Structure formats: structure tokens, C-alpha cells
Structure 1
Amino acid sequence: MKISSALLAVCSLLILEPVAAAEDYTATVQKVATARVSNAAIPGLVVVTVNGQEQKIQGFGLVTNGAGGTSGKAQPHLPDASTVFEIGSVSKTFTALLLADMQMRGELKLDDAVASLLPAYSIPHYQGRAITLLDLATQTSALPRLPANLMPKRPDNPYADYTESNLRDFLHRYQLTRTPGAKYEYSNLGFGLLSQALSARAGKSYAELVQERIAKPLGMADTGIALTASMQANLATGHDAQGKTVANWDMPTLAGAGALRSSAQDMLRYLQAHMHSANVKVPAGLQLVQQAQRPTGTPGLQIGLAWHVQSVRGQTVVLHNGMTGGYASFIGFTADGQRGVVVLANAAVNVDDIGMAALLPAMPAADTSNVNEKKLSAQQLQEYTGRYQLAPGAILSISAGPDGLLAQLSGQERAAIFPRKKDEFFYKIVEASLQFERDASGKIQSLTLHQNGHASPAHRIGELATEAAKRAEITLPAEQLKQYVGSYTLAPGFKLIISEQSGQLYAQATGQGSNPIYAEAADKFFLKDVDAQLSFQRQANGKISGLVLHQSGRNMPGPRDGD
């Protein structure tokens, strides 16, 4: 399932894929997918596209790269329509559909208290306000992302030994800190609890409900939790962000949050049902899950039942993504039912860019030939540098590069911005601009991002890398730097990959880009663009055994994988 990281959190406010000349959008998707496989970021993936009446399923790369051995599983070949992948948090949309189906059948109501369906549980409440099924389905339950007593014996299969008894014990002890329904906060725990509630009401397991009400009616023979013989034979091998083969995930208690596996041919049927294709049976409640229910706190982004509803480039798109330890997924469609996409990959590497390339209409390249770029001095450019907060966890950092200003949104690559006139800058790689605002004294105090018809204000929250400026960078021998290279697990499904290139160390969080880290002492490193530090830990024999991420007042330990 998708685990958003504590380091460099990803935000979808700024779409930074390059705009292209108008062309057949399937060719654009093929180009992006081919690039992801060609640069070895992902061993293999399958892309399903629907454009009106046209449907395509395209495979790229291999079902395994063989790194670390395949243990008799899949042998290298092109993934295809029948190749099976873990779909992670896309499973949440199945859970939401079960909820909507049961609502339509009169078996429950969205505003039913969860406690009424699970009398054996002690469900927390806040000042008399109970958690409802709608709260769980819209990620507004006030429950945390994960239960604090999730302490896996096997980090490579983190949910396998988490029991229903563990879940009951956590809920019995947990105290809510705010009113349910008041704030969006992604919660795998919440969706796991929702699947338990639905199962209890139906008197059947979650796996049985998925088969009975979704998979069989839609003809999805290769979709489920337990692997059938056919699914096992067609299962793609999972890989981590470094390309190493990893174990599959099992989620017996929190199944509704991310336990399902499926194939492209099955997910095409699922996608068509949501797009209301004439030749596909539409289960009860499909229209309900797509309806925006509550805000998320991010401009232009709302949530329905599991599905996120986003306004991008004048289009309303409905989407969800997912990630497990060895797989990534994306599903989305335009609200008008004209375009749809499914991306299934056999690596824990974000594939949202491929999905969005299929959903968004092709745009003409930004015409900058007649733009009169205003020349500003280095001193003038320095006025704009700083950190600007677009949304919780979304910081736009403006820094001075060798040829002008660079803008970087949390979790994305840097992009050059160019002055059009005083206090106004534009991007050349996307249709977006930044308007800076000054206070009465003339000092820059905020900016507004203009993109896709939206104006997103961002208050200046400080100078760029204030803490980093206080730290003195030192040079460590290349051989010493190589000691830190490896994978470190900070949370289930969230790793920090440390790599070395030409004497420079880089840190890459799951599903995100890499960022340089700088030594300030032996075993101590810092980031310059984000207020975060890393401390590496050693065993008695001197071998690196783990690290601690220091950020936002938190210390997150992560053991080194394989140790």
C-alpha cells in the first residue's frame, strides 16, 4: 500500500511532467513507460489505457530482473495482460465499493457508527462523537496511519503477524485527539478496520465478500488475496527501489487496506465498470464511490469513498494509487468517462507520472520564443530565495542556481524558473507561473502558484535551509562513504535508500526522488534543502547497522535491511 514518507513528503499541487506537443496520448504513455523501464527504475510494468472505445494493454520490461534470485518463481519474460501484481492501496477502492454496495442493498448506512457493527471492539470516540463508516471511507476517522503496536517480526512482510487481537488491543487503548470527520489524514488502519466491520455485518470474510460482490460479477478470475494456481504461475516478482527481489506481503487483519492481487486484464474490467462502459456489468454503488464527500485540505483535491477526486488542467479525474514492499499501482479515469488508465509495476517505485500522462490531455509545448525574459542581478534573485508552504507537508523551496532561480516542491525534482517581470516568474517545462508578493517594507512575504486555472497561495516560512546553513560540511574518504550505502526500513513499506555516485551520497525515500546528503561528522549527515539529518549507527565490529532520521522534532530509527 502507499506509505507517504516523513522525509520530503509528496504533494500533487505542482504537476512537473514536461508538456509535449499534441500527439496521440497512448504514444505519450508508451514513451514514459519505456523510459522508466529503460533506466532500470522498474524491472517491468503493464499499462492499461482506455480512450473512448479504444482499449490497450501494453507490457514493458520483464516480470523479474533476477536480482537476488527468483527462487523458482517467474522467469524473465515480458509482462502481459495475465501477469499478476500486488495492487496495494488500490485495494481500498474495492473496500469502498463493498461499503457502497451494502449501503445500496440496505444492509447498512454510511453514517452508522463503526461500534455498532463491531460490538466486540472498544472503538474510540471524541467528546461523544463516534467514528462512522463514512469517516473511515473518507480517511477522516482521526485514527493514525498505522497502529502503534504494529511491530513486525519480519520487516519484509510487516503485516503478516498483526492479529485481530492486536487490533482490538490498540483500539481499546487509543484516544482520539480530534473530532472524527474534521480532518483528512490517510489511514491504513482505518481501512483495515472498515474491512473488519463490513465482514462482521455480512458474516463473511473480506476475501469472500470481494469474490462474491466484485470479482465474480465482473469476471475477474485473477483477483483476490489468496493466490490460485493460475495467479501463482503468473505472479510477477516484486522488487524494492534498488531492484532487489523481495517477499510478497500478507495482511490477514488489515486486508481492506491493501491485501489484493490482480492482473491487467482483470483491472481493465474493474476500470470499465467505474467508467460505466456499456458492455460491463456495473455493481450497485459504483456511482456513489466516485462522488466527492469531503475536502482533503489540498486545493483542488477532494475525497469520495476511498477515491481521490482532483481537478487538473481543466479535467476532473478520479484516482488512487498503491504500493507494497515490491510493487506499485495506479488507477484513474476522467469524470466524463472518456479516458482511463491502470498501471501495475513490479517494483516499489511510484508510477503516478505514467498514470497522469494517460489521463491528462496533451498540451502544446510552452511557447517561450516571444517571452521577454527580464534580466535580474544575483542580488535581486536572492530576495526570492526561501521556503514557502503551499499546504501541510508541501514546501516550495526557491534557491539560486548558476543560471537563475530553481524551484523545488517537496518530493519533486528542481526546475528552473525565469523572470517575466518584477516579482513574476514562469516555468518553461510546464504551464505554470509564480507571483511573489511583498509586505509594506518591500520584503517578499508570500507567493502564489498559478497552474491549471488554480491559484495556490503560499506563505514564506523561512530562509532556505536555515538549519543547514549552521552546519559545516566536511569531506569523507570515498571508501568510508561506501560503508553507508544500503536500504534502511523506517516503517512498513517505507525505506530510505542510501546510494553513492562519484563521491556524493544520496538519500531516496520510497517512491520519491533522490536528494544529496552532506557529512558534518563521521556517521552524521544533513540535507541542505530540507531541515533533516541522518545519524548512522554501528555495531561493535564497526559495521553500519542502521540509521536515525531526525526531522520535525521526531527521531525515526531504521535498521539496515539484511542485518
Structure 2
Amino acid sequence: MKISSVVLAICSIAMVGPVLAAGDVASSVQKIASARVSSGAVPGMVVATITGQEQKLQGFGLVSNGKSQPHQPDASTVFEIGSVSKTFTALLLADMQVHAQVKLDDAVAALLPDYSIPQYQGRVITLLDLATQTSALPRLPANMAPRQPDNPYADYTENNLREFLRSYQLTRAPGAKYEYSNLGFGLLGQALSARAGKSYAELVQERIAKPLGMTDTGIALTATMQNNLATGHDAVGKPVANWDMPTLAGAGGLRSNAQDMLRYLHAHMHSADVKLPAGLQLVQQPLRPTGSPGLQIALAWHVQSVRGQTVIWHNGMTGGYASFIGFTADGQRGVVVLANASVSVDDIGMTALLPATPATDASKAGEIRLTAKEMTEYTGRYQLAPGAILNISAGPDGLLAQISGQPQAPVFWRKKDEFFYKVVEASLQFERDASGKIQSLTLLQNGHASPAARIGDAGPEPAKRTEIAIPAEQLKQYAGSYTLAPGFKLIITEQAGQLYAQATGQGRNPVFAQAPDEFFYKVVDAQLSFQRQADGKIKGLVLHQNGQDMPGPRDGD
């Protein structure tokens, strides 16, 4: 499921692609998806779009980077859908509410009497809290210590979940604040399963998949699904293992194909015409704020207001796959994007959903060149969010903007203190203090205004790093689990002479030696420094990223 679109970043700001008119939706999506595949960022993907009464399904690339599966993905190709599974869990909740089997304000503890569910000053966690990401539970349980780093949820048991909840203390009242929690939705799946007396997988089949004719959707792979399964790939294109989530399946355990997901999408877009499953209208109603302007949360679904249009969407990511599903509240546009790499496809989904905007200056403006002195006053580092820094630097042809972990992009002068991107629908508005010095900026994108204070001079270009060879036997000494923060571990493994790092809930990425005990990523500007104790044994590491140093002691030491 989606943990972060930038490897190891504490927070990332997703840059969403340009938007076009309804008649151009399929062609604009084709252009962006083809470019994503051609660049090598994603081996293959399937995009299904609905525009008015028309629908189109397009396959791009290959189902695997390997030679054993050379064909293009199509309507029957199966992918892990990650956190899009949460919308299924929410629909199960809505269906059971409609049938008077549960109430949204039921206490989770009442459905799971064998669990010790934490509470805060008498305020209990309800089903609604879990379904709206406001439970006050952390993103992941802190006692996840996977024996299989490339399949991190596989050995997390229900006993592990009970143990964590028994010892966890809430830091605030449930319902008080939006905070995305895979743990919370996994717990919701457990609660609904307990009330129904059936497994989560059985509930999905009985109440959603079979009524909608979704024959290739589920947790366990049927023979047909296995035969059509696309190979998952990490962020650098290497094949990775599939994820299994026996305990937290409600958060991200489902697999499906575009044909089935198109049926699922149609049901949500035309719910008045669909009798089963019940509750389709309920899941779309915004219920609580998220703290971001224009963005609310319904039951799992995010409801976002963008330039006068309301978009209902969810995304997902596992170690080897990415997904996006969304539709407009007026029922005129819908999209499903399934990809076989852990690389965000949100921009492709949003491109299919958002209406055209009036012609901007992007096609004509930008010819004005600033002098070196004029550019200098804008350059600097601007703090968008913890771990997300926007670096503005002077390039040979103008200003360059780079968000932590993302590529540089040129920005063009529109008017004094205002610049715009051509590669995405976004702009920058710089603000000055009383003396006329730039003190902050605001990133304007998709209806969001993200202010960022200037925190220093423009950062240098990432250092050029030279890879050195270290024998496999020596690499094995670094393998282990390192705790960087509560609920956030970095698992280091060695395989065939290559060292890998995997953060909790994320895909596995290779790291490369530049010196003994010093390693670096190639997919993101981040480094690892391993630390030794007096006897020479590795005792911990430090993650260096975005100007921060995050120490992590080795677990068990």
C-alpha cells in the first residue's frame, strides 16, 4: 500500500500532471502513460477510463522486465491493488451498516472482545474512526519485525496485533485528527470479519466481488489469476516478491485486474442503478476533514475539491505495484490505473479526472529571462513539510525547482514573484518581508496552497558518488533490523552480493558502498552510515536524507 511516493521520505509532495478536456482524456492519458513506460520508470500498466458514456482500456509496456513474460498487460492482467483495498473494506462496513449488522459509531472493542483496544480519557475508538483514518492509531504497529523483508506483512500474526494494541497508548482522542493508518484499516477488517463470523476474504467475495461479477478479485490467487499475474518490480525496476497480508488484509491485501476494477468503478459512479452491494452512496459522503484545504475523507475515499470539480479517489502501493482509482462526483469521469512497479501513478489518474482549465500563460509566457542577480534573490531552500524541502536554484536558462526526492523541473516567470511549471499544473508565489527580501513561497497545485518558509540558501547538487565493491561475506555483517522511529524500521538484507534496504511497509531498494560502512541509494538522494561498537560489531546506522540525520540502533543489541 501507499506509504510514500518517495523512498524513505518522511513526507512527499506529489506533483500532479496537466489536465485536459473530456474529449482528450484517453489521448492525454496515453501520452503520459507511454512516456512513463518508455522512460523505464514502470515496466507496464493498464489504464481504464470512463468519459461520459464512453470507456477505453489501454495497456502499456510489458507484464515483466524479464524475458519469460514479454506480452503487454491487458484487461485480464492481475495486479496487487494495495491500499485501494481500503475502499473494499469501507464498502463492507457500509453494507453491514445498511443491513443493520453494525453501526458506524459502534466501539471496536464491542466487536473484538478478545482484544484490548486502547482508548483516550474514556473516548473509545469506533468503526467510523477507523474508516475515516482518525482512530489515533499509528500508521503501522511498532512490533512489525518481518523475517521476510521483501514480504513484510506475511508473518505478522493476529497475536502480534493483539500484543501491540494491548500495550499501545493513544496520544490523543480518536476522531480528533486525520492520520493515515494501515493498522487502523487492518483492524477494521478484523472487526467486520468477527461480527460476520467469516474471514475478510469471504466477506469480499460474498458482498462485493460476486454481486458485481468480479471473478478475478480476491486475496488468494486462483489458477486463472496466477496465470495472469504481472510480475511486481521495485522502484529501480528489479522483480520483487508479492506481498501477503494475512492479519492486516483490510488495509491492502487484494489483487484484481482492470476488467474487474472497471466493474467496481462503474458501480460507484452509477450507484443509483446498482442494488448490490448496499451502501455505495454512503461510502462517498465526506464525513471528516483531513486538515488539507479542499480535502475531506469519506469512508476510506478521499473527497477533493479541485477548481470547482469534486473528485473522489484512492491510491495504493505495495513493494512491486501501484494503483489509482477515482471518479468525479457528477459521474462523468472515472479512471483505474494499475502498474507493476512501486512508482506512483497518481498523476495519470488525476489527468483523466480533472476538467480542462482555461489556457494558461504556460504556452506563451516564460520567454522573459531573469538576470543572474534577479534569480539569486529567489534561490534558497523552502520547508514545505517535515522532510519535504523545495530547493530553488539558478540554472543556465532560469530557475530550477526540486522537491526532496523528485527530479528538478524548470519554472518560468509569469509576473513579479510568480513562476509556473510547464511539466505540471502548478505555480510558485514568492512572498517578501518589509525590507523586500524573499522570506517564503506558496506552492499552488490542484486547489492546494502549500506555504513554505525559506530556511536557508539553495542546497548543492547531490554529490557524485563512486561505487566500490565489497565481498558478499562482508556485506552480510550489515544485515539486520534497525529502528529509526516508533513503528518505523529499516531492514537491511544481503542477496547475491547486493545489499538492500527496506523501510517499514515500503519496497526493497538496493544500496551501494562508497566506503567501508558508508552506502548510498541511487533512486533517491539518501545515504546510510553504519556504526560499530568497540569490538567491531555493527551496533546501528544513521540515515542521511533531506538534511536530516536519523539514527537507528540495531534491534537486539
Indicate whether the TM-score tops 0.5. yes
Tell me how far 1:251 sits from its aligned partner. Answer: 0.9
User: What does 1:180-199 correspond to in 2, within 5 Å?
Assistant: 180-199=174-193
CA distance in 1, matches of 2:337, 2:138: 28
CA distance in 1, matches of 2:520, 2:79: 36
Aligned partner letter, 1:38: S
For residues 160 and 457 of structure 2, the distance between their equivalents in structure 1, rounded to whole angstroms, comes to: 44
Residue 13 of structure 2 aligns with which residue? 11
Given that 1:406 and 1:416 are in contact with CA atoms closer than 8 Å, whether structure 2 keeps it comes out as: yes
1:331-358: per-residue Cα shift (whole Å, max 9, x none)?
1111111111111112222211221221
Structure 1: gaps of 5 or more residues: 500-504, 506-518
User: Pick from 266, 269, 278: which aligns with 2:260?
Assistant: 266
SS class of match (1:302): strand
Correspondence for 2:36:
36
Contact 2:362 2:421 in 1 (8 A): no
TM-score, normalised on structure 2?
0.84
- Contact 2:48–2:57 (8 Å) recurs in 1: yes
SS across alignment from 1:24? helix
Residue of structure 2 in register with 1:426 after alignment: 420
| Equivalence for 2:310 | 316
Distance 2:284 2:367 in 1: 43
Cα offset for 1:81?
1.3
* CA distance in structure 2 between the aligned counterparts of 1:532 and 1:40, rounded to whole angstroms: 21
The 5-angstrom pairing of residues 278-289 of structure 1 reads 280-289=274-283
Partners of 1:317 and 1:557 in 2: how far apart? 43
User: Which string of whole-angstrom CA distances, capped at 9 and with x for unpartnered residues, describes residues 121-162 of structure 1?
Assistant: 111111221111111111111111111111111111111111
Q: Is the 8 A contact 1:25 1:362 kept in 2?
A: no
Question: Conserved in 2, the CA contact under 8 Å of 1:19 and 1:429?
Answer: no
Within-5 A mapping of 1:399-410: 399-410=393-404
Q: 1:167 aligns with which of 157, 161, 165?
A: 161
Q: Is contact 1:488-1:546 (8 Å) kept?
A: no
Give the secondary-structure state (helix, strand or coil) at the position aligned to 2:211. helix
Per the TM alignment, residue 280 of structure 1 is displaced from its structure 2 partner at its CA by 4.7
- Say if 1:349 and 1:257 are closer, same or farther in 2 by CA, change over 3 A: same
What does residue range 352-367 of structure 1 map to in structure 2 within 5 Å? 352-363=346-357, 366-367=360-361
Whether 1:555 aligns to 2:544 is no
Cα gap change, 1:352/1:545 in structure 2, threshold over 3 Å: closer, same or farther? farther
Change (3 A) 1:546 1:65: farther
Shift of 1:380: 3.5
Q: In 1, distance between residues paired with 2:426 and 2:65?
A: 38
Q: Is the 8 A contact 2:235 2:509 kept in 1?
A: no
| Equivalent residue number for residue 447 of structure 1 | 441
Q: Deviations over 1:232-277 (max 9, x none)?
A: 2222222222322222211111110111111111111100011016
Q: What SS class does the counterpart of residue 232 from structure 1 fall into?
A: helix
Distance of 2:340 and 2:324 partners within structure 1: 12
Give 1:172 shift: 0.4
Q: Using structure 1 for the length normalisation, give the TM-score.
A: 0.83
Choose from 470, 485, 502 the match for 1:489.
502
Distance 1:55 1:19 in 2: 18
Deviation larger for 121-130 or 3-12: 3-12
Q: Does 1:293 align with 2:287?
A: yes
Conserved 8 A contact 1:366-1:430 = no
2:204 aligned partner: 210
- Map 1:441-520 to 2 at 5 A: 441-452=435-446, 455-465=449-459, 479=468, 487-498=500-511
Distance 2:119 2:205 in 1: 32
Cα distance in structure 2, aligned partners of 1:88 and 1:336: 26
Partners of 1:21 and 1:202 in 2: CA distance? 45
Q: Name the SS for the 1:189 alignment partner.
A: helix
Amino acid aligned to 1:11: I
**1:158 equivalent in alignment to 2:152:** yes
Q: Which amino acid aligns with 2:376?
A: Q
The alpha-carbon deviation at position 359 of structure 1 amounts to 1.2
CA distance in 2, matches of 1:264, 1:478: 41
Change beyond 3 A, Cα 1:238–1:9: same
* Within-5 A mapping of 1:328-407: 328-363=322-357, 366-367=360-361, 371=365, 376-391=370-385, 394-407=388-401
Q: How many angstroms does 1:279 deviate by?
A: 6.1
TM-superposed deviation, 1:202 = 1.1
Aligned partner letter, 1:134:
L
Cα deviation per residue 1:470-510 (whole Å; 9 max; x = unaligned)? x9x6x7656569999864212232444458xxxxx9xxxxx
Matched position secondary structure for 1:358: helix
Q: Percent identity?
A: 74
Question: Which position in structure 2 is the counterpart of 1:240?
Answer: 234
- Which of 168, 173, 177 aligns to 1:179? It is 173
| Deviation per residue, 1:383-435 (Å, 9 max, x gap) | 22233344555443322223322223344432222334433333344454333
State whether structure 2 residue 107 is matched by structure 1 residue 100: no
SS at match of 2:144: coil
Cα distance in 2, alignment partners of residues 209 and 55 from structure 1? 29
Contact 2:432 2:440 in 1 (8 A): yes
Deviation at 1:102? Answer: 1.2
Distance of 2:465 and 2:396 partners within structure 1: 25
Alignment-derived partner of residue 49 in structure 2: 49
Separation in structure 2 between the aligned mates of residue 6 and residue 450 of structure 1, nearest angstrom: 25
Per-residue CA distance 1:80-110 (angstroms, 9 max, x = gap): 2112111111100000111111111111111
Residues 413, 21 of structure 1: alpha-carbon distance in 2 compared, 3 angstrom cutoff: farther
Query: Whole-Å Cα distance in 1 between the matches of residues 358 and 554 of structure 2?
Result: 45
How far apart, CA to CA, are the structure 1 residues paired with 2:111 and 2:295? 30
Residue identity opposite 1:303 in structure 2: I
In the alignment, what sits opposite 1:60?
60
Q: Which runs of 5+ in 2 are unaligned?
A: 476-496
Structure 1 residue aligned with 2:408, among 411, 414, 417?
A: 414
Q: For residues 452 and 228 of structure 1, do their structure 2 counterparts lie closer, same or farther at Cα, with a shift above 3 Å needed?
A: closer
Change (3 A) 1:177 1:553: farther
1-side partners of 2:116 and 2:178: how far apart? 23
CA distance in 1: counterparts of 2:470 and 2:412, whole angstroms: 36
Q: Which residue of 2 aligns with 1:508?
A: none
d(CA) in 2 for partners of 1:274 and 1:307? 11
Structure-2 change in CA distance of 1:368 and 1:279 (3 Å)? closer
Inter-CA distance 440–524: structure 2 relative to 1 (3 Å threshold): farther
After superposition, the Cα gap between the structure-2 partners of 1:137 and 1:232, relative to the gap in structure 1 and judged at 3 Å, is same
- The 1:261/1:20 distance shift into structure 2, 3 A limit, reads closer
Q: Tell me, yes or no, if the aligned pair for 1:276 and 1:282 is still in contact at 8 Å.
A: no
Please report the RMSD computed on the Cα atoms of aligned residues, expressed in angstroms. Answer: 3.4
Name the CA distance, whole Å, in 1 between partners of 2:70 and 2:425: 40
> For 2:232 and 2:153, how far apart are their aligned partners in 1?
16
Q: Aligned residues, how many?
A: 521
